[in-house]
Structure formats: structure tokens, C-alpha cells
Structure 1
Amino acid sequence: MAHNDCLQDVPDIFENEIGESIAARTEGLGMIREIGPPDLCHIVKIHSSNRSEPDIGSYHHVLGIDSSSSASLAAYINSLQYSLSETPGWFGSTNNWKIASGTYCSYNSFSNVDLRVQVKIPGGVDAYIVTPQGERKEVTEDLWRECHVSSLLRSILFADPTLYNVTGLRRMTPVPSPRDETKFVEAAVEQFWNGWALGSNAETQIASTARNFLVDGLMRYFGGEGRYSDCAAEILAPLAYAPLGGQRTSSRVSAEFKGIDPEVAALLAEVYMEGDEEVQAVRVMHQALKVKSSCYPLLATQAEFLRRKNRPEAALTVARMAVKYAPSEFNAWAKLTEIYLEAADFQRALLTLNSCPMYTFVDHDYPRLPTPRRINFPVKSDILADYDLGEHVAGGHGVHGPIPSNSRASLDSDAPGLIEEMALNENSPILRLSAPTLRCTFARVYKFLTEIVGIIGWDELLLLRSQVFVMEEEYRNSALPSVAVDDEDEVAEDEDDQLPLSALRERKSAEQEPRTCAGAQPIAEVGGDICTNVDGRETDACKVEPAPEDGAAPAPEDEAAPAPEAEAETPAESEIIEPAKGKKKNKKGKGKKAKDGQADEAPKSKPVDDNEPAEPLVENPAVVANGESSIAAIGDKMDDISLSDTEPAKPEESQLPEEPQLPEEPQLPEEPQLPEEPQAAEQLSTPQTAVFDTVPSEPNPAPEHRRAHGEEQDVETQSQTTKPEDANDLIRKRLCERWLDNLIMILFDDLRVYTSWRSRMHNLRATGQPVTYRYTQAEWEALGDLALRLRHPSEAREAYEYALAIRFSARAWQRLLEMHTGVYTLVQQEEQRRHEGIPELSPLTSNDTLMQALDAVVWLSVYHDRWYNSMAYPNPVCEQLIKLISIHGLSKVRNSIVSMNLKPAVFNMVKKYLEVAEKFNVRGSKW
């Protein structure tokens, strides 16, 4: 029995009980976190002739309806009366089902209430609001204005079906004419200063005036058409130069003050930059910096401007300031990373990524509804008879009709069946990759990692990772793993932290001189504190306190000397900064371990590779010769160490000064007093809170300090000592964050699958075997996405074409359309520079590229119409067609579409995109 209780061109989701969808929406109001779910339209149908038939409740979701008044919502519900299916009869078509009532629900994101309009046919209209607590209240004019803006923002931000899709969703054009746009702009300006109440996207920590969903919607609407000048002139410029706080909230601000809001000025400057009005952008930034030089959005915009002008040093300075003033904002760290990548400073780029504050991804608000009784997805027209979208259409056709010449759907008998493909997809490793599931800040960081791999390669990334971060083997081989992480809260707990490294070593060496007693033999190792009897047994009675040398500082009484095993087996220890919190922590438990007899501080050495064991501690003779630590090398072979100034440096013989030969037993210089080194202690104890600060592992004492203690040094040797080392050696190692390590492993999985795929493709082509059905249609799509993630657009295009050769794919068509409109032009150019064998693509201005792009536009238009997406703009297809118009002109694009000989219904679908370009006067619409 055919159902004639369904709508003809609107999806219908039937309820088990009438009103259960509205009740579920009311219960879910308290769990809404962003701008809310799409609008809900609920209708009740009755049978007019048979009263025994029970009433039917059904609903669907809507985006793009004007919700500025109850009249517009009631008109939409009334229009559904003409969409009911009709049953043919002897004297015409009839339908006994009628719509008795309807309820339209639209969420107000500003006030967090649900506005509802209840319509009775025939009857009246009742409008009210429902709070998250379930209370019913009256509607005010302010609530209507807020609801209008909220509904428009949802339709603009959720316009892409691939990013936001809900069952039974109908999309309509939110701003169909310039008159409606003027109404939208006025409402947006009125609510602009309250935009922070809407929240912000997942990459922004704190919503502000310039970072919220209202600003995102405005930039998406005007940016998709390339109308940046209109956005600046009509919205941002009046708001930026208005009294601070806005027209409606400026009661506490003098109305005569005409300043400039720094955050809005940052948006205005950004819009000017995108609209090629850089002079205006510079002027706005100059005025705003005078008002507030520490505004983070303003500094980020200035850094982007300097980066585009090839001023990396200035851009780097400004980006660091932005990070300093907004350390909890991810976008500031991302901009700093981007500048480091352009400067080819990959070490600091990795350190900056490791310091990025990562946010938990908060998905969009989806409706929470009970399981329906049945769902009806009617076919609106007979267009699908000519375009195979990969689905079986019920109703008059039974099977698909002929496929046009521009179709890429394959009729090859070798193609596997759908059931066979589904079985192959279940066990496919290509479809189990983790990278497609990354969202928010993690997806951005992964993109930076792919850029690094695309420039230097995977092997270099691993080497760079071992040079920047502490590897597992280094941490495991450390004698003091518990002190590898610093803790800033414990800096003042131990007085030893305030002493320089040379002073600590001097004190330890003074405490650890060999001692003898009656009937005992001194041990050979320097620093030992245990004597042995003649028979080799240890005795504690032999322990005596050493007599301090002249000028040496006495050791504290409560501090014990370290054991010889601890000093002999202590490997290199790196000072670790925890950059995710922007501060360095003091070593935990250092003071406690010092009292227990362990070493106060492990000596430092060069970075150790993760594949090599840690080297034993060896003192650098150059350090001893330069006077940095005169007794730092006291050991078991004290007599073999030369204190000559010329031997370690080894300059040319002609430049060596004549110096007297040192005696066999050199006299050590007078030891400095510990309290007289405040500068050196301050240098070593100050935590490094920024990733771009570089500090030598053992800085030399100040020249004034050496002169005060009679330590004279040769000029040439001093210049060599103070010569800056390589920048890579000055960067201290950090602990790699767990999430960053996981992203590197995800990147490894992508590279493994990509290499296997390209090797198989090479073998198949070398042997002349067919390629199309080696992978399923879903796998070809996943391989195309994989190639795009790894910045190989030419190979991604190949994979998408193979996917379309098997079956229709809206995702593949959308990506090919973006390639033909220049979205991946820069990535394609980078790929051609890295790989010489890649063929050059057709230029964007060629006719072949235009026809291929229009082919994708036609197929996507049919697909969107099939799934009730009649939105003209900001449809992603319309955005790409507007780019084609800006390249070729409206006349050429229209004539090219006419030359395709499309059916009238299909031509009307594409024509609505051209009308948008002509109505709103986009670039290229005049020629």
C-alpha cells in the first residue's frame, strides 16, 4: 500500500508518539554548548474522511528560514500543506491527509532559550519561548532579533554538508536578495558587541569581541564571495571607530570619545589585507597599536602582514610578543610555528608545537531525538534518471536510466559488487587510519608536521626529534630520573640551586679528598670517603673531616659527600622545560637527595642520540684552561691535566704568546668565595620560560668577577671562549608531550600506507596490469585524502578520479572542483619543486580546467538537489563557482554552461549560482 501521508519534496521522519520530538528537544536544551542545533519543524496530519485513522506526527530539520517574526515561520508551515502526496483518481488527484497543526522551534543562542511558534490550520498563531528548565515565557522584540541572527549564523556556518549533516535536514538560502542582506547586516551590527555570548570555535580558548561565532559567520559570508571591501565599509569600519563598547552598551563611556577598538581594528586590518588594501591595513594597525600595544589579535595580524612582506625577523619578534601576551591561545603559538617553518628553523618549530596549548574538541550541537518509526526521503524530480548517484531510486524507474557522456561512473563488468566492497572495507588498513579523525588543534599541529616532513623528510624529522626532545633511552639511563623534570614551585627550597655549577663542584672536591688512617690504605678513586683495612675490609672509623684549604668555603655540616658509584655512573642530564604550561620547573627532590648522600646536580654534556648509549662523564679540558671552573676536573688523574691556556685552544703557532712552563704540580688559584657570585648564580637559576631563549650549558663567569679574583686570561683565548656556539647546541632538550608523540606516530602510519600504495601503483603500471579495481571506491577516497594530507595533490587527484571511475562520490567531486579553482595551487607548486618528474597541471585560465570544473559543478548540484539542499549561497559549490567567475568572467562561464546542453531542470540548478554572483556584484560579474 502506497503511503500518501508523506510530503513530496521534503524529508519526513515519523514519530512513534505525537510530540515526542518536541519533548526530546526540550530535555536537550540544557546540554547545548554552541550556537545550537538546526531548526525543528513538527507537523500533525489528520485523515479528513476516515476519523478512525489515528493522527500522525512527523518532523524534519531546517536551515535558512527567516525567523525574524512569527508570520514568516507560520507561512513556512502553511506551505507544507501543498507538499503532501496526492493519490491519482478517476476525477483527478486527491489526498485525504491534511496538516492540522504545526510547531516551529528555533534556538536563540544569545539568551539560551528555544523560541517556538505554534500554528493551527485553520486557527491562530501562538509564539512563546521555552527555557532550559522547561518554563514557558512570552517573546519580546529583543528575543526575535537575537533569534534571527542565531538562525542565520547556523545556516552560514553549517552550510557545508560534508562538515555538518543531520538526518532529514533541509537547507534553504538564508539571504536570497540584497534587501535581505541589508537586514542581516543591520541585525549583526546591533548584536555585534554581544557576540562573545555565542562562544567561539574549537581553536579559541576564550571568546572575545573579535573571536566568536558571529565574527566567523560574517567572515564566512563575505569572504566566500570575495567582498571584503563591503564587509569593511558596512560593518567593521563603523564598529572599530565607534565609541568603545558599542552604541547600546556605551552608557558608561563618553559619547564624545571617538577612539578605536583594538580587537575590531585587528579584524578590520585583516579584511583590508585580504581585499588588497594594504595601505589602509597599515594605517588601522598603526592607530590601534597606539591605543593598546599588547592586544593579541592585533599583534597576530601584524605578524601575518610582516610574513607576507618577507620580513621574517620582524614577524618573528611580533609573533613572540603575541605569545607573551596570550600564552593560552593556540592561534598565537600556531602563528609563531608558521613563521619558524618559513625561516627553516625546524628545531624551534618543533619546540613551539610542543608548547602549544591543546584544547579538547567540542563538536557541533546535533539534535537528540528518539528512534523514529520510519523515514521517508522522496525524490524531488526525475533528474536522477540521467545522473547515477550510486543509489537505487524507488518509484517509476526501478533501474537507473542512461548515463551521460560526462559521467565517470563505470559500467565495467569487472567492477566488484557493493556487498563485496563492503566486506573488503571492513578489513582494510587504509580505512583504519587515525589521521582523518583528528579535529581542532590536533589537526592543525598534524598539518605542521606534514609540512616539516614534506620539506626535510621523515628521517630528518626523527633526527631532529632526537636532538630536541629527551629520548626514552636517555631518560632510562639517567642516574637521577626523578630530577629530570623541573618544578618552579620548589626553586627556593634548596639553597644549592642558587649556586653556580663551578662552585658546587669546588665544594664537592674539597669534601672528597683522599683520607688515610692508621692501618688503612687510601682508595684510588677521587671523591671516595671510605677507607679500607689491610685485609680489604671497609671501616667507618677511618672517616675524618678534611681540612679546608686556604680560601675555600667550609662545607655545610648537614651535607654528606656523594657515593663514588653515583658520580662515576651519572650520565649527561638535560635541563627539561615543561613548555605546555609556559614555565620551567625546579628539579624535584634535589634538596632531599643531597641530604641523603646523592649528588646535588648531575653534570651536563652534549645531547645523546636515542640509538646510542650515554657516554661517561668526561671533563672538557678547554673549560679548565679558560678559567671557568679551575678545579672542575679534579679526579683520579689530576697530575695528567694541564692548565695551560694555549694547549686546549690550539691556535696557530705564530699567534701563541710566550709563556713560562708550568711546574709539574700546578698551584691552584685561590678559590672564590661562594656568596660573591650573584651574577653567575642568577644566570643558572633563572628558569627558561620561552622556547626561543637559548642558554649555554655552562656559561663563563663575568669578566669583572675574574678580574676581582686575580684570574687573568689571554685576550685571544678569552675571545675564543666567549665565541657563541652553534645555535643547535644551545637549545636545551625538553620532554616531548604525549599528544605530540602520538601525532608523530600517526604521521608514521600515514607515510607507511602512502609508501605501500605508491610502490604497488608503480609495480602495476610497470607490468601493465589494470589499476582501477585494485582498491575499493571507499579506499580510493581515503587514499586521495591521504595524499592531500601529505601534500601530494597530483596523486590525490589521480586517486579521486579512480574513485569516480567506480561510483559517484560527492567528496571526490568536491576535492576535484577545489583543485580546478586553485585552492591547492601553492601546494602543487611546492610538490613540483620537490619532485621534478611530476607533470605540470593545466593553468587555471585554460578552457580545459574550466570545463572540468563545470563538470564537477553540475554533478554536485544534482547531488545537493537530491538531498534537499536548495541553498544557493553560501553553498560550497557556489563559492567555488564564484572563484571561476573571478578568473574567467561571468559571460564566459555562462556561455560554457550553455554549451554543455544540459536539461532545463539541471540548467536551472546551476543558474541560481550565477544569479547570486550577478545580484551581489562579485568580482568578474561585469565581464
Structure 2
Amino acid sequence: MVAPAVPELSEDVLHESIDARTESLAALRELGPPDLVHLVKQAVRNPGKQAGVYHHVTGVDASSSASLAAYINTLTYRDHDPNTTTRIVEGVYCCYNAFSRLDMRVHVSIPGTVESYCVDERGEKRKASDDLWLETYLCSVLRAYSYADDGSGDSIRKIVGVRRFNPVTNTETEHRFLNAAEQLFFRGWQLGSDSIVQVPTNVSNHLTTGLLKYLETTGRYTSGINLFEKLRTQSVEVASLLAKVLFMGHEEVSGVKVLYQSLQQTPMDYVMLDTQADFLLKKATKAETPELKEERLKMALGCADRSTIAAPSEFSTWARLAQVYVAMEDWENALTILNSCPMFTYQDKDSPLMPEPRDVHLPTLPETRLDEIDSEPESRYAEQVDPSLLSLRAASYRGTFKKAYSILTEMTAKIGWDQLLKIRSNVFVMEDEYRTEKQEATQAAQPMRSPSMDGLRGTPDPTTNGEEGSDDENEKPSEPAASKLAPNGENSGGTNADDHLSKLNTKRLCERWLDSLFMVLYEDLRVYTIWRTQMAQYRAQQIQYKKSAEEWEILGSLAERLQHFDEAAEAYRACLSLRFSPKALAGVLRVFEKTKSTRETVAAVIRLVTWQYRWYSEFSPELLHTIRTLIEDEGAVKVRSIIQATSLPQHVLDLTHHYAALCATFRSSGTDG
């Protein structure tokens, strides 16, 4: 299998990229940025003339200094053109160790020596030990999965010039990975966690997320079960991970037993309770009868409710409880619980902070040439986009806000916007309602006034009576209402005011973030409704409805966000009819997977794999998972035949055959026949 091409970003000042990386070390908070590979090129006819170039990479074996030096050597072998005017004389490979917060570096002189060392947050050199290399290797594998593209191209476009390799390509490298994970498992919390986890634990962190992602991608469930069985003997909390892998591998009875036995020992382990609730929720959606569905949802409710007591500051427990209420169609409780979710600021993945490169060279391998893909970059940037589509804020939601918005849109898709507003007004204090109640309460309390009270408080102006202390027309109900209600929910004023505010005492105050989500949802629905109305009018008049490819892509994303999946696929197809778009094709692929459209799925995967490879990525866990699932359902022989039968160049088909070959290497289900 040919390796992806090597992108080159040129420096203005020699070694400025390495200096910039060193300066950024103290600010890193997650797994660290992709590895940096810096090369010094020397003019063949003028040895005194040197220039620095660099690129980023993930998935390279970082288990030792020798393996990283070997990667730099492969770059020198690629420079085989006899007409070249430069040659590589020096290389530095930088790989971040997120456990010890050190940047491991290997300096290669060509020809000559190899030096390995590490740099701390202060930029000081330290000696590299075997223990540090073990940590670095594990971080490298986790980064390869964390920074991989999901097929849509979003991750690829985020950082220019990243080569992405598969870090685990056979059972031997799998053994090395899982062995390293076992040795460092109980230090995994040091790596941090996903943005929806408030406090990293032994079972909720970047290491466990990476392990589960690997097992889901490759289907190597038995290896995962063996690993977590061993670790469970050291700590019962690992049972939640063991159960998740058993459920992945369709060993549901064993998974339920593991959770049942383990919760006898630790009845308030929130991850185990949440795992139970998630399992029951999924089983309820597949229930054969309404009675069975109701029974499973009641059990899920008990587990989810208990998990919020066990971990009241975690978002995931409250979100799960809200999802259960949505499934039960208990809309008021769903909205109440959603309002209770603790929200966290989104922490994005660490990205390279580099100076502006002098030049960017993005070469193309002949093996990735496909006309429909090659024309994509040129046409993208000439397209007109309606400003109202660019201003949709929900598209930028990440972390807890994205998840909460998804729950809100699920409710809207099931009951409609008008009904959602009614439920909202039943659950929360509305601003006009609060102002009316407040005014009535104040007027009722007036006869109770006395000269002594007026002397203390000051006589209010009759024109502003009932509005004291609130000049801002946009003031949220949560602010004045909170100040007027005692902690027990009773009014802190006079007894007459109690009667008038009694309605408010049964309602809650809507959190500002949820109030904002309603406004964003309204804007999404407004734009969506205008689009669908215009489409219907144009069709009735038999006139073509025209949008640019970029606009169709945004509309597809909008419809998918609002959970109108048929309309999303329609928009994505309209985008693809104008130009190639990995995001649109990935959206259509999700529809093909749901409808089990095998040939269409294969055709979409071939193009996405080729686009990824075109931009230096030979590895996407999501695309590998799609191929593996196809092989499980249809068998390897049939899938290979469908790939080969498409009328595309052989060099393009070979890229997808490579993914299918990985499934055979891992002996995935369906590869025998």
C-alpha cells in the first residue's frame, strides 16, 4: 500500500516551528497536538543555503526513538527525483507525552547520529527513559483515534498538512497497544476527558474513550473483554467498561450480570448506573409491545434518576434522565430535567500554534486522482452563500451545548414548536407573566404601607410602581424572580403578595443557557420553514429551486440537526449534484447505512476514502467501521466484488480494498466466507 503524499509548510525563519511548539507546551490541556516533523533541506549546489519545512502526523509508532528516526528516514527515501535541487540533511520528530507533560524529541542528522531527549514546559532538556517512551506511545495511539477524521472532512480542514496513519494495523500492534493501556490504565485520569465529563475518573477519561473507540471500530471485542476482566480484579468500577464492551459484542446477558453483581458492591457508581440506563433505553426503543416498552423505560428511569443523585455535577447523568423522559413522552419533566443539566465550557482538542508559513505545498499522489474530487477545491471558494445561513449559531455548538440542543430538537421533532412553547410556559416563569404577577402583588400590598416603612424604603414613584430596580426591558425573569423568592420557594414579602405570587411558586426559572437554546432553535426552525415553503412553491410552479453547493450543504446540516433526515438527504444530494463535498456525502452515507443500501454505501465509501487519502489521511475509524459492518452483513467476498464492480479507476478501488484487507487481518466476522 503506497503511503500518502508528504505536505510541506515552509518556514520564514529556520526552526521557528519547533520554537513555536516549545512555547505552546505550557498551554496544552488535552492529549496534545499532532506530532511535528521538521526537516532541514540543503541546496545541492550550495550547501550553505538551508531552508526549514515541516508537516504534522498522527499514528506513527512512537514506542522508541528508533521508530521515530525510521519515519524521518522514510522521508529521505521518497526524495528520489534525480533532478531535485535540495536534499534533507537533518530532521526532528516531536511527539507529546500527555502523562508527564513532556515533548519527546528525536533529532536525526543525515548521514550521522540519532539523539533523543525530551523538553519540559519551561523548554528545558531532560533525559528520555523507557517509562516515558511507554507513556508517549500510548498517547500517540490515542491521538491517532482522537484526531482522525470521521469521513466528513471537518478534522482534515481544521489543521493544514497532517498525515494520518492507522496506529494499530494487526494483532501484534494491538497487543502492544492493549498492554500499554493495561500498564497505565489507572493513570488515565491524568489525560483529562471528553468535554461532557466534568471530573475525569478511572473509567471516564481520554484513555478509556480511545480504548472503546478502538474496540468499536475494529470489532475486537474479545480482546477488550479480556483486558477489562483483568483490570476489574483491581477495581470494581471497571465493570462499567466491561459491560459496555459485552453489549457491543451482543453478549447482553453477560453484560447485565456484570452490572448487577458489581452494583451490589458499589450501588452508587454513577457510570454503572448510567450504563444500565442507556442499555434499558435502547432496549425500550426496540420493544415489541407498548407494555414491554413502558416496563423497560420505568427501569431506565430508576437507574437514570439514581445516577443523578450519585453524580449531581455531571452533565451526562442529567442528560440521560432527560432522554428517558423524552422516550416516555413526559415532556414537562424532560424540559425540567434538561434545565437542571450542569453545563461546561467546551475544551477543544489541542491544535498546533504555528507562525504563518512562508509557503504551503500540498502535493497530490496519482493514486488519489478522481475527476469529481479534483474539481472540488476550485469551485468551493467561488460560491455565494446567503448570510442568514452563515449566521445559524447551532452549527457551532460543541460538547454539552450540542448534546442539550439535540435533546431539545428531538422534543420539537416529536411534538412541534407550538406544543413545545406551551410546555415551556407550563414549566418556566415567563417574563411577561412575572411582570404581571409582580405588579398585582405590589398593588395588593399597598394598603399595608406605613409612614415608618416609607421612611425606611423611600416612597416609590407611582409611575414606576411595580418596576422598582428594573430599568432594563430585556431583563431575564430568572434575575428578578430569584431575588424575590426565598430559598423554600415562598415569597419574602408581605402576606398579600404571597397569594398573588402563588402561581410563580409552582414554576421554575429557566436557565439563561436554555433560554438561549430556545432562541437558537427558533432561528433554525425559521430558516428551515422558509426553505421548505419556497421549495414547495417552486415545485408547484414547476420552477427549479436554485442554491449554491455550499448553501445546500448548510441546509442539509440544518435539516439533520432538526432531525428531518429525509430532507437532509435531499439537500445533501442537491449539493453533490453541483460539486463534490465530503460533508454532504458523509450525510448521505448515514442514510444509506440506515436503509441497508449496500451498493450505494460502498460507492459513497470509495469516494470518501479517496478524498481522505488525497488529503494525506489513510485512516478514518468511521469509514473502517462502515466497511467492517458491511462485511459482517454481506460477507467479504460480496463486498470486495461490489467494490471491484464499480466503474472507477483501479488505483482508487485499491484504497478501499486496503480497508477491507484490515478487516481480514483482524479476522472480523464475515471475512471467512
After TM superposition, the score normalised by the length of structure 2 is: 0.89
1:408 corresponds to which residue? none
Describe the shift of the 1:472–1:781 C-alpha distance in structure 2 as closer, same or farther (beyond 3 A): same
2:36 corresponds to: 40
Aligned to 1:194: 187
1:858-911, Cα deviation, whole Å (9 max, x unpaired) = 21122112111122xx43222212222222111111111121243231121111
Q: 1:882 aligns with which of 628, 633, 639?
A: 628
2:71 is aligned with 1:76 = yes
CA distance in 2, matches of 1:213, 1:298: 18
Structure number having the greater helix percentage: 2
Q: For residues 196-240 of structure 1, give each alpha carbon's deviation from its aligned partner in whole angstroms, at most 9, with x where no partner exists.
A: 00000100000000100000001111112333343112x111111
Residue of structure 2 in register with 1:167 after alignment: 160
Q: Do structure 1's residue 454 and structure 2's residue 439 form an aligned pair?
A: no
Counterpart amino acid of 2:672?
K
How many angstroms does 1:479 deviate by? 3.3
Letter in 2 for 1:197: Q
Q: How far has the Cα of 1:765 moved from its partner? A: 1.3
Query: Tell me, what secondary structure is at the counterpart of 1:204?
Result: coil
Partner SS state of residue 351, structure 2 = coil
In the alignment, does 2:623 pair up with 1:862? no
Distance 1:576 1:480, change over 3 A: farther
Q: Residue 391 and residue 345 in structure 1: after superposition, are their counterparts in 2 closer, same or farther (change >3 A)?
A: closer
* Structure 2 counterpart SS, 1:756: helix
CA RMSD for the aligned pairs? 3.1
1:752-791 equivalences in 2 (<5 Å)? 752-771=526-545, 774-791=546-563
Matched, 1:115 2:104: yes
Letter in 1 for 2:561: R
What is aligned with 1:381? 366
In structure 1, runs of 5+ residues without a counterpart are 1-6, 87-92, 245-260, 394-416, 484-504, 509-524, 531-539, 544-558, 609-696, 698-731, 823-842
TM alignment of 1:424-439, pairs within 5 A: 424-425=384-385, 427-439=386-398
Question: Of the candidates 596, 599, 603, which is equivalent to residue 499 of structure 2?
Answer: 603
Partner Cα distance (2:478, 2:91) in 1: 64
1:801 equivalent to 2:573? Answer yes
Q: Which runs of 5+ in 2 are unaligned?
A: 285-292, 468-476
Q: Report 1:343-354 matches (<5 A).
A: 343-354=328-339
What amino acid is aligned across from residue 785 of structure 1 in structure 2?
S
Mapped contact 2:367–2:651 kept (Cα < 8 A): no
1:283-332 deviation digits (Å, cap 9, x = unpaired): 21122112111111111122223332532222212211111121100000
Report the counterpart of residue 340 of structure 2 in structure 1: 355
CA distance, structure 2, for counterparts of residue 138 and residue 66 of structure 1 = 20
| 1:763-798 superposed Cα distances (whole Å, 9 cap, x missing partner) | 111111123xx1111100011111111111111111
Q: Which residue of 2 aligns with 1:180?
A: 173
Q: Structure 2 counterpart of 1:243, which letter? A: Q
Query: Offset of 1:178 from its aligned partner?
Result: 1.3
1:57 maps onto 2:52 in alignment: yes
* Equivalent pair of 2:118/2:125 in contact (CA under 8 Å): yes
1:319 aligned partner, one-letter code:
A
**Cα separation, partners in 2 of 1:460 and 1:607, compared to 1, 3 Å:** farther
Whole-angstrom CA distance in 2 between matches of 1:108 and 1:78: 22
The within-5 A match list for 1:675-714 is none
Q: Percent identity?
A: 38
User: Is 1:236 equivalent to 2:138 in the alignment?
Assistant: no
1:652-663 alignment to 2 at 5 Å?
none
Q: Distance in 1 between matches of 2:222 and 2:466?
A: 68
State how 1:494-513 maps to structure 2 within 5 Å: none
Give distance in 1, aligned partners of 2:481 and 2:204. 25
The correspondence of residues 5-154 of structure 1 with structure 2, limited to 5 A, is 9-51=5-47, 54-84=49-79, 86=81, 93-154=82-143
Q: Cα 1:794–1:191, aligned 2, differ >3 Å: closer, same or farther?
A: same
Match of 1:750 among 505, 524, 530: 524
| Structure 2 residue 256 is matched with structure 1 residue 282 | yes
Distance in 1, Cα, partners of 2:224 & 2:54: 37
Cα–Cα, structure 1 residues 905 and 885, in superposed 2: closer, same or farther, change >3 Å?
same
Contact 2:97/2:103 (8 A) holds in 1: yes
Q: Does structure 2 retain, via aligned residues, the 8 Å contact 1:32–1:365? A: yes
Q: Distance in 2 between matches of 1:385 and 1:470?
A: 58
The residue aligned with 2:644 is 898
Q: CA deviation at 1:392?
A: 6.9
Name which of 301, 304, 321 aligns with 1:336: 321
Q: 1:636 matched to which residue of 2?
A: none
Instruction: Map Cα deviations across residues 660-680 of structure 1 (whole Å, 9 max, x no partner).
Output: xxxxxxxxxxxxxxxxxxxxx
Aligned length: 636
- Secondary structure of the structure 1 residue equivalent to 2:196: coil
Confirm or deny that 1:853 pairs with 2:601: yes
Paired amino acid for 1:363 = D
Contact residue 319 and residue 336 of structure 1 kept, 8 A: yes
Structure 1 counterpart of 2:600, which letter?
A: Q
Where does 1:220-235 land on structure 2 (aligned, <5 Å)? 220-233=213-226, 235=227
**Structure 2 residue corresponding to 1:215, chosen from 201, 208, 214:** 208
Report the Cα distance in structure 1 between the residues aligned to 2:567 and 2:553, rounded to whole angstroms: 12
Change (3 A) 1:600 1:30: farther
CA contact (8 A) 2:59 2:165 kept: yes
Question: Which residue identity is paired with 1:314?
Answer: M
CA shift in 2, pair 1:862/1:569, >3 Å:
closer
Residue 487 of structure 2: aligned partner: 585
Counterpart code for 1:322: S
Distance in 2 (alpha carbons) for counterparts of 1:528 and 1:332: 47
**Structure 1 residues 8 and 355, CA gap change in structure 2 (3 angstroms):** closer
Letter in structure 2 aligned against 1:167: V
Local SS of the residue matching 2:234: coil
Q: CA deviation at 1:167?
A: 0.9
* Aligned equivalents of 1:224, 1:819: Cα separation in 2: 19
Name the SS for the 1:741 alignment partner: helix
CA-to-aligned-CA distance 1:602-655 (integer Å, 9 cap, x gap): 1157758xxxxxxxxxxxxxxxxxxxxxxxxxxxxxxxxxxxxxxxxxxxxxxx
